[in-house]
Structure 1
Amino acid sequence: MDAYGPDGSVGTAPYTGLVPHTPKINQQLARYGVKFGIYRDGAFTERLFPFDAIPRIIDAGTWQTLERGLAQRVDALNAYLRDIYGDRQIVRDGVVPEDFAFASSGYLPQCVGIAPPDGIYSHISGIDLVEGADGTWYVLEDNLRIPSGASYPLIARSLCRRCDDTTFRRVPVVDNRDYGARLKAVMDHVNRGGINVVLTPGRYNAAYFEHAYLAEQADALLATPDELFCEDGRLYYRDASGMSRVGAVYRRVSDEFLDPLCFRPDSLIGVPNLMAAYRAGSVAVLNAPGNGAADDKGIYYFVPKMVEYYLGERPILSNAPTYLPFYPDDLAYVLDHADTLVIKDVAEAGGYGVVFGSSLDAAGLEALKRAVRAEPRRFIAQEVVDFTCLPTYMGGEVVPRKADLRAFVLSGATTTVWASGLSRYAREEGSAIVNSSQGGGFKDTWVLSR
């Protein structure tokens, strides 16, 4: 469980030492451009990603269990991606229904037969968890395409040290400054010969700050699409000083925009022929195109079965109790209990497409049921998990707010879990929607070393 004492302390070291510095830290975050961009109603706006200096604190024993469970889960998901774009044995064995697996909007036929370096599809995985009121940790989502968020606790911890380094001398917190080195090690491991680059669509992307910051931390070049080109089946970076071959590209561009000659022809933020170079094996692409086949919210239902199927192990971490309307029995249950469930559109992200049945009136509930009946593959339903609130400094006082945890798992020579993470909290009292795109804030995550 989170390691908070009854008086808001960690052992003899109060976590509240950083609270007075919260305004100053947020001012520094704004100065460094730590913002989150939102596209809404056809307009792009940026706002500060609000930071709360009271961290989430996880004791060493709990973290060891989470670490093993997260690595196990990502290993199984990588095995599934190798299989679904290869022999499809899990489908032939009936573990995942064929018409369910290939109906996923994230499944890309263009990626069939492409073997990424070392068989790694998801190099940087963002796994969203919550801690239930009973102390059980539940996985809510697996983000395997271009999960964002690692930069925020990284820079926040740096600013907290600058404001009050005595706190970190008193509290045995695992140092999180190794994320850049971990990311570089993963890129180097799959590099096909050449430099490492971070591909950003540019200044107006919602996570542009992170692209630039992580490129610096991982000693990689930050590149926009116009700075990259393919020639003779290889990818190159070009600037005023000349051109360099690229061996690994950490892309922060969605699949459908990545290569206009392979996916959307109207994309202006892709690199023509990138997929041809990737297929030829001359460049590694992190994360691999097509990973959406495994982070579809419907496929999430099958991940515990994947752990048993591919690894021969019992899952260490649990899914939230989930129903799949694709199955007739689950559909009947969902329709009968829609007023107590959370209904999620499997193709949505960022907190969009999430509906709490208890928040709807009779007409809204009936409309939701009609949508589920009409397109059962489009939805999953989950029991409402009563997850913990964390103490949060707002308006001059400490108040409880719901919070989740995005843990970052990196797969290279081995699968490792970064001893930190992005804890997102709901700013509205009683709300369970913590996503930054929905107005949430963030906390640092302290993993205790003992």
Structure 2
Amino acid sequence: MAELRKPDAEFPAYDEAFDRDGSVRPLYAAIVERFSNFDTAELRRREGIIEEEFRRQGITFTVYGDSQGTERTWPMDLFPRLIAAAEWREIERGLTQRVTALNRFLADIYTGDGAAMADGVVPAWLVQSSDGFERNAFGVSVPHDAHCVIAGIDLVRDAEGQYRVLEDNLRNPSGISYVIENRAAMTKAFPRVWEDHTVEPVSQYGRMLRTALESVAPTGSGDKPLIVILTPGIYNSAYFEHAFLAREMGVELVEGPDLVVDEHVVYLRTIEGLVPVDVIYRRIDDSFLDPVSFRPDSTLGVPGLLGAMRAGTVTVCNSIGNGVADDKAIHPYVTDLIRYYLGEQPILPNVETYVMWEPDQREAAFDRLDELVIKPVGESGGYGIVIGRDASDEELADARAEIERDPRNWVVQEVVELSTLASLCDDVLEPRHLDLRPFVITGERTQVFPGGLTRVAMRKGSLIVNSSQGGGSKDTWVLADGAHSNGAAAQDSAR
């Protein structure tokens, strides 16, 4: 049988499946029993089924600058992550609260009177100096103030099992297609494992997203507004997801030249002539969206699109300028924004974050830089991060010099020992660190999609879960209310 290793008793991280005394948490009892009865050869066989299915369907991701080739099959670990119904409801409440406040903040900046800045909740200079702050967004209103229709909020679990927000992703969060494909692959490779649990489905995402996009269509769009997904094209790292979502929603996948603006109206070129477009779900960064108003050398966007947005004839989701609210330098202020806009205490706390432009916080961080995590505010994908305890003296000195050179560009966070869960590594199931990216959809109302993308650091001891940095993923099961284990798992490893 495959070896299923428990975390060491002195291991500082919270383990999802095993308690501190080594006993199996009740939530995972059936899964642990199932996997304990598989031998290594059988697990590898089923892993091969998943890899072949992903390869056949072209389910890939892209790593730029990699010497071994940029396109790789999406990595999925076999051992699923489980979340109890009551636990999920608390996460759901916290995410709804957070995204509601962030949408209020964006509306306050771009179509409001900047009250949060005027009242000192967030420094005005910090907002205006953000790379994500977009002056072109001023005066561009969005139905229901849904500046962020699709949000991906990165959660981690600390040593006590408390979920904390690590980062907000409000521009073009990716990964939802892999959530759905992970579920399909898991169902195919382990059909009998499902007998032990009642799991919330994930197949409804396309309907949820389409409903939200329809709800933010401009007034006068009719009962069936025309929605398109705007993609940079086949060479984009997330192109698989763009095509996947177009199929799921039953909408056109278009590139910039497929659209044209005339008299502040966006049209789709078709063989039957020009057809007005009501909603654009764009997967292109702000700076490439309209060569008239942004980068003039962009061939990816649509000339005149910003004018159509201002005229209110088309809604672009997510809206422009959202990057100011997911700037890592704004992250420490989000809990205050929740209190300010909603009059509520935050349900999900932040990971403790220190801002380097405040002299007292900077000096305190410098005194223990080898115990902290150093992050540039403008990077993503795990790039540029320095984990103090793993860094050399030279790397720490370089990081300190970079912070002193440009304090606005850096934040420092406490190390969170990300929770762990058994993962198949070198023919052994042993603990690896993971996080969770749930997806939040806002239209007329805000909804949280059940589950999310669990990312796992496949290198032992690593806290970097990004796929571009060697990370993998897991199927995430949110158990339905009243769900319970259906008794002992079968002993037959062929199941």
> What TM-score do you get using the length of structure 2 for normalisation?
0.87
- Please name the residue that 1:37 is paired with: 62
- Please name the residue that 2:202 is paired with: 176
Larger Rg: 2
In 1: Cα distance, 2:232 partner to 2:67 partner: 18
2:79 counterpart of 1:66: no
Do 2:17 and 2:421's aligned partners in 1 also have CA atoms closer than 8 Å?
A: no
SS in structure 2 of the partner of residue 83 of structure 1 = helix
Per mean C-alpha deviation after superposition, the further-off stretch among 239-248 and 249-258 is 239-248
2:283 counterpart of 1:252: yes
* 1:359-378 → structure 2 map (5 Å cutoff): 359-378=390-409
CA shift at 1:42, angstroms? 10
2:347 counterpart of 1:316: yes
2:369 counterpart of 1:343: no
Given the superposition, is the C-alpha separation of residues 174 and 87 from structure 1 closer, same or farther in structure 2, using an over 3 Å criterion? Answer: same
- Please name the residue that 2:235 is paired with: 204
In 1: Cα distance, 2:391 partner to 2:369 partner: 10
- Please name the residue that 1:4 is paired with: 17
- Please name the residue that 2:4 is paired with: none
- Given the alignment, which residue of 136, 143, 152 partners 2:178? 152
CA deviation profile, 1:335-369 (whole Å, cap 9, x unmatched): 11111110100011111121112222222222211
- Please name the residue that 1:429 is paired with: 460
Do 2:376 and 2:409's aligned partners in 1 also have CA atoms closer than 8 Å?
A: yes
* 1:102-181 → structure 2 map (5 Å cutoff): 102-181=128-207
Q: Which amino acid aligns with 2:107?
A: R
* 1:183-202 → structure 2 map (5 Å cutoff): 183-192=209-218, 193=221, 194-202=225-233
2:97 counterpart of 1:97: no
Given the superposition, is the C-alpha separation of residues 363 and 7 from structure 1 closer, same or farther in structure 2, using an over 3 Å criterion? Answer: closer
* 1:274-293 → structure 2 map (5 Å cutoff): 274-293=305-324
- Given the alignment, which residue of 428, 441, 444 partners 2:472? 441
Do 1:15 and 1:55's aligned partners in 2 also have CA atoms closer than 8 Å?
A: no
In 2: Cα distance, 1:163 partner to 1:242 partner: 46
- Please name the residue that 2:6 is paired with: none
- Please name the residue that 1:410 is paired with: 441
Q: Which amino acid aligns with 1:363?
A: E
Given the superposition, is the C-alpha separation of residues 216 and 428 from structure 1 closer, same or farther in structure 2, using an over 3 Å criterion? Answer: same
Given the superposition, is the C-alpha separation of residues 446 and 199 from structure 1 closer, same or farther in structure 2, using an over 3 Å criterion? Answer: same
Tell me: higher relative CO, structure 1 or 2? Use CA pairs within 8 A at least 6 residues apart: 2
In 1: Cα distance, 2:82 partner to 2:374 partner: 30
SS in structure 2 of the partner of residue 431 of structure 1 = coil
Given the superposition, is the C-alpha separation of residues 334 and 218 from structure 1 closer, same or farther in structure 2, using an over 3 Å criterion? Answer: same
Q: Which amino acid aligns with 1:65?
A: E
CA shift at 1:248, angstroms? 0.7
CA deviation profile, 1:294-347 (whole Å, cap 9, x unmatched): 000000110000000000000000101110112121111111111111010001
Do 1:126 and 1:406's aligned partners in 2 also have CA atoms closer than 8 Å?
A: yes
Do 1:2 and 1:56's aligned partners in 2 also have CA atoms closer than 8 Å?
A: no
In 2: Cα distance, 1:173 partner to 1:236 partner: 42
SS in structure 1 of the partner of residue 438 of structure 2 = strand
2:427 counterpart of 1:399: no
Give the aligned length: 450
- Please name the residue that 2:48 is paired with: 23
Given the superposition, is the C-alpha separation of residues 399 and 41 from structure 1 closer, same or farther in structure 2, using an over 3 Å criterion? Answer: closer
Given the superposition, is the C-alpha separation of residues 107 and 319 from structure 1 closer, same or farther in structure 2, using an over 3 Å criterion? Answer: same
Q: Which amino acid aligns with 2:391?
A: L
In 1: Cα distance, 2:16 partner to 2:401 partner: 44
SS in structure 1 of the partner of residue 277 of structure 2 = strand
Given the superposition, is the C-alpha separation of residues 352 and 448 from structure 1 closer, same or farther in structure 2, using an over 3 Å criterion? Answer: same
Unpaired runs of 5+ residues, structure 1, are none
- Please name the residue that 1:388 is paired with: 419
Do 1:59 and 1:448's aligned partners in 2 also have CA atoms closer than 8 Å?
A: yes
Do 1:144 and 1:291's aligned partners in 2 also have CA atoms closer than 8 Å?
A: yes
In 1: Cα distance, 2:69 partner to 2:105 partner: 36
* Matched-pair identity in %: 42
Provide the alpha-carbon RMSD of the alignment.
1.9
Per mean C-alpha deviation after superposition, the further-off stretch among 439-448 and 143-152 is 439-448
2:359 counterpart of 1:328: yes
SS in structure 2 of the partner of residue 54 of structure 1 = strand
CA shift at 1:231, angstroms? 1.1
CA shift at 1:30, angstroms? 1.3
In 2: Cα distance, 1:256 partner to 1:202 partner: 16
In 2: Cα distance, 1:205 partner to 1:239 partner: 24
Given the superposition, is the C-alpha separation of residues 164 and 367 from structure 1 closer, same or farther in structure 2, using an over 3 Å criterion? Answer: closer
In 2: Cα distance, 1:332 partner to 1:3 partner: 36
SS in structure 1 of the partner of residue 368 of structure 2 = helix
In 1: Cα distance, 2:16 partner to 2:461 partner: 23
Q: Which amino acid aligns with 2:95?
A: L
2:107 counterpart of 1:82: yes
CA shift at 1:161, angstroms? 2.1
In 1: Cα distance, 2:260 partner to 2:434 partner: 42
Q: Would you tell me which structure has more strand in proportion to its own residues?
A: 1
In 2: Cα distance, 1:39 partner to 1:263 partner: 25
Given the superposition, is the C-alpha separation of residues 381 and 420 from structure 1 closer, same or farther in structure 2, using an over 3 Å criterion? Answer: same
- Please name the residue that 2:387 is paired with: 356
In 1: Cα distance, 2:191 partner to 2:311 partner: 49
In 2: Cα distance, 1:176 partner to 1:82 partner: 30
Q: Which amino acid aligns with 2:98?
A: R
In 2: Cα distance, 1:333 partner to 1:4 partner: 36
